[in-house]
Amino acid sequence: MRIKHGLLSAVCVSVAAAALTAPQALAASTWGPPQEVSPQFGRALQVSDDGQVMAWVRTNRTTFGTPNGPVLTAVYRGPKKGWSEAGQMPGTAETQGLQLSGDGKSALIASEVGLGVATAQGAQGWTAPTVLSTDSKVLFAQMSSDAKTVVWVNESYVQPPPVEVPPNVPPNAYAYPYQPPPVPVRTLKSRTVGRDGQWGSETVIGQMDPVAYPSVAANVALSADGGTLVWLAEGKSLVAAVASGSGMWSSPQVIRTYASNPDIARVQLSANGERVFWLRSTVDGIFTATRSGLTWSPVGNVTVDSTKSFAVSPNAKSVAWGADNGKIKIASLANGQWRSVASVGSGRAQYPEVILGKKNLFWINKADDALRTATLKAGTWSRARTLSKDAFEAVLSRDGKTVGWNQISQTRILSSKR
């Protein structure tokens, strides 16, 4: 999971989260009634693979944008006791980005002073983040699920030399010598935990395209196993590198080269890094390619629908998206071909954000902020149901049994389990 703009904590304070009144739509659902994770709002919600730990950046900002605040966490104590919220994680007062490891025992912290990794210590709470980098302008960071590899993009600037007066130009015809503006340089870096259990030295992987649009985070992805990295490189090529051990990476291999900026809006890798998906903001469709060793297949299509969001299931065999007609669609991989198998509901607005588990699909309607869900059973997707009428930033555990979200009206964090 990528680090989100928008973590975990020290001494646990027992806060038994009472079960809340469930919406009527849940009566026939397999999802339990909502439980309060925190009575206060948070951003960059994270949840461990097994749904037992949640983390977030504490903030009152209920709009999109970069949050700034301390990291808090909560641990699930069971159906009756609910969630126990922990105190503030030390050394995280100005956190701007966060990612939780798969086991919920490590947290990647991004701030204006660099990157660090904090570690859970049981009843003793969390350590302060161990500094991995003091880069001051980190535009993207992602950690492998096992918290042993961290990749980030740092932006710096290079000042080009002044442009001197060309030959045969009349004096004072132009403002020469002309000083061009600084040029951004976006460098991909990584650090990996070695066999001795210590973080290895910083490795430079390559350079990103300096004008990647709409954002750097939309143009780079790390697989959950930490073994494959995909990014938009200089020269407008989508490329990939594969980890070769001891913190080293292969030379970039081209997946696709474009004549001009491809306007990539999202890149996502399968957990094992053998399949990549991407979306372009100016071209219809969701694209995909597969890897064998260091070689990538020709590019194929999951769909030709116009969309601005998609989600991939944990096994990378299903993809869901919000289509341009407002429908939520799902395609599955069968015999090497992507086939559209279901239309499970309406987003009531174009391009809702979607979250896809192995058997569960969630999306937030843009029109009314309702968190909706459908469940796969015996090969058929259920009718959509409402979990919350005013949701913001939902997150789903990898095992598909815990969903968390912010409730806007009461500025708190809720969850539901199945």
Residue 198 has pLDDT above 60, yes or no: yes
* More confident site: 7 or 167: 167
Domain 305-418: which CATH class?
A: mainly beta
- Cis previous bond, 177, omega within 30: yes
Number of separate helices (H) and strands (E) present in the chain: 0, 36
The percentage of the chain sitting over the pLDDT mark of 70, rounded to a whole number, equals: 90
Residues 47, 100 contacting (CB under 8 angstroms): yes
Q: Give tens-digit pLDDT for 23-52.
A: 433 434 589 999 999 999 999 999 999 999
pLDDT band at 342 (very low <50, low <70, confident <90, very high): confident
* Per-residue pLDDT at 19: 33
User: How many C-beta neighbours within 10 Å does residue 134 have?
Assistant: 10
Residue 190 has pLDDT above 80, yes or no: yes
Residue 20 has pLDDT above 50, yes or no: no
Residues 60, 32 contacting (CB under 8 angstroms): no
Q: Give tens-digit pLDDT for 72-88.
A: 999 999 999 999 987 78
Query: Where does the chain hold its CATH 2.130.10.10 domain(s)?
Result: 305-418
Q: Give tens-digit pLDDT for 369-395.
A: 899 999 998 888 998 899 998 898 999
Label residue 235 left, alpha or beta by phi (over 0 means left) and psi (-120 to 50 means alpha).
left
Tokens of 266: 């999202």
Tokens 């979250």 identify what position?
Answer: 355
Tokens of 414: 């809720």
Tokens of 286: 């969701």
Residues with Cβ within 8 Å of 181's Cβ and at least 6 positions away in sequence, in order, are: none
Residue 129 has pLDDT above 70, yes or no: yes
Q: Is 69 helix (H, G, I), strand (E, B) or coil?
A: strand
Q: Residue 105 to residues 81, 102, 118, 120, 400: CA-CA distances in angstroms?
A: 21, 8, 8, 5, 19
